[in-house]
Amino acid sequence: MLLITKNLSKQYIIEKSFFSNKKTVVMALENINFELKEGSILGVLGETGSGKTTLAKLITKLIEPTNGEVIFDISDVRRSVQMIFQNPFSSLNPRMTIKSILKEPFLIHHLANSRNLESKLKALLDKVNLNYECLERYPDEFSGGQRQRIAIARAISMEPKVLVCDEPTASLDLSVQAKILNLFLRLKEELGLSYIFISHNIEVISFIADEVLILYEGGQVERGLKDKIFKNPLHPYTRILLGSESYEFKKVQAEKDHKGCRFYCNCKLRTNICQQLAPQEIEIEKGHYVSCHNPK
């Protein structure tokens, strides 16, 4: 295992606003438990607000957990675990040339010196299919797809083991999305990478992931091998998300706070226990886990 999360949880406290004197607590993630195997792509699937970006920031240590932990079997985590952000337009400094953007991590981490810097930059651009001439240009001279290639080049320049990709193709056109997804797959093989790949898009996760973690309102509801989850979704929410059942969702904020199952108010299979007790995760078949009192 490259990393394991143990009861990983994050609360945000929103200080009183202009309209209200009360502090609000947002339980963005609660008791997240999974592992990332070496050479594997873990797809994290969830709707908006389910806690995906919070998870990415916790894994990359951009924020600290409120409870729980991430245990790494990797040295030098800050260099070895890199994040690719959703928006390549805001993740690259518009005032820096591509050369300055790409050479910075090489120099900070002592991965290049003045003699081999040029050849390292060239090799890096080759890996992401960008032309050497782009080095003297600025980010806003490039398309969204090209910028994402530059962001990927910057991340792999640090010779990471894990890339945490937060919706890296969501802002791109469909044809460009496919090329970037294929680039991720090629780099994984060439560089021996592993990915935590976040998306709200089922087709993207279905294409790229080996294993899947499904989030609902800050909690994990199901996880396991992709084929098992897609062929045989066990959690009532997963079945709705994957389209095997239709349902009109009630958005119930209170679900986050009550002590039972967070999906209670929307669930057709709920029973009394579901309101009283949060379901523990159980392994239903090898490599397939679900958090539900009444799985299918």
Dihedral class, residue 93 (left if φ above 0, else alpha if ψ from -120 to 50, else beta): beta
**Residue with Cβ nearer ligand ATP (142 or 217):** 217
Q: How far is the CB of 197 from ligand ATP (least distance, A)?
A: 13
For the chain, where are the E strands, in sequence order? 3-14, 24-36, 41-45, 67-72, 81-84, 162-166, 194-199, 211-216, 219-225, 281-285, 288-291
Q: How far is the CB of 272 from ligand SF4 (least distance, A)?
A: 10
Catalog residues that contact ligand ATP under the rule CB under 6 A. Answer: 12, 14, 26, 28, 46, 48-54, 200
Interatomic CA distance for residues 69 and 60, integer angstroms: 12
Q: Choosing among ligand ATP, Mg ion, ligand SF4, none, which partner's interface includes residue 49 (Cβ < 5 to 8 Å by kind)?
A: ligand ATP
**Residue with Cβ nearer ligand ATP (211 or 217):** 217
Q: Choosing among ligand SF4, ligand ATP, Mg ion, none, which partner's interface includes residue 270 (Cβ < 5 to 8 Å by kind)?
A: ligand SF4
Q: How far is the CB of 44 from ligand ATP (least distance, A)?
A: 9
Q: How far is the CB of 118 from ligand ATP (least distance, A)?
A: 38
Catalog residues that contact ligand SF4 under the rule CB under 6 A. Answer: 236, 261, 263-264, 267, 269-270, 274, 279, 292-294
**Residue with Cβ nearer ligand SF4 (164 or 214):** 214
**Residue with Cβ nearer ligand ATP (11 or 97):** 11
- Identify the DSSP state of 204: H
**Residue with Cβ nearer ligand SF4 (228 or 293):** 293
Interatomic CA distance for residues 198 and 276, integer angstroms: 31
Nearest CA to 11 among 187, 218, 204, 160?
218
Q: Tell me, letter by letter, the H, E, C secondary structure of 76-130.
A: CHHHHEEEECCCCCCCCCCCCCHHHHHHHHHHHCCCCCCCCHHHHHHHHHHHCCC
- For residue 142, give every residue at least 6 positions away whose Cβ sits within 8 Å of its Cβ, in sequence order, or none: 134, 150
Q: Choosing among ligand SF4, ligand ATP, Mg ion, none, which partner's interface includes residue 50 (Cβ < 5 to 8 Å by kind)?
A: ligand ATP
Decide if residue 53 touches Mg ion (CB under 5 A).
yes
- Looking up tokens 């200080």 gives 15
**Residue with Cβ nearer ligand SF4 (114 or 253):** 253
Residue 9 pairs with which residues in a beta bridge? 67
Q: How far is the CB of 214 from ligand ATP (least distance, A)?
A: 12
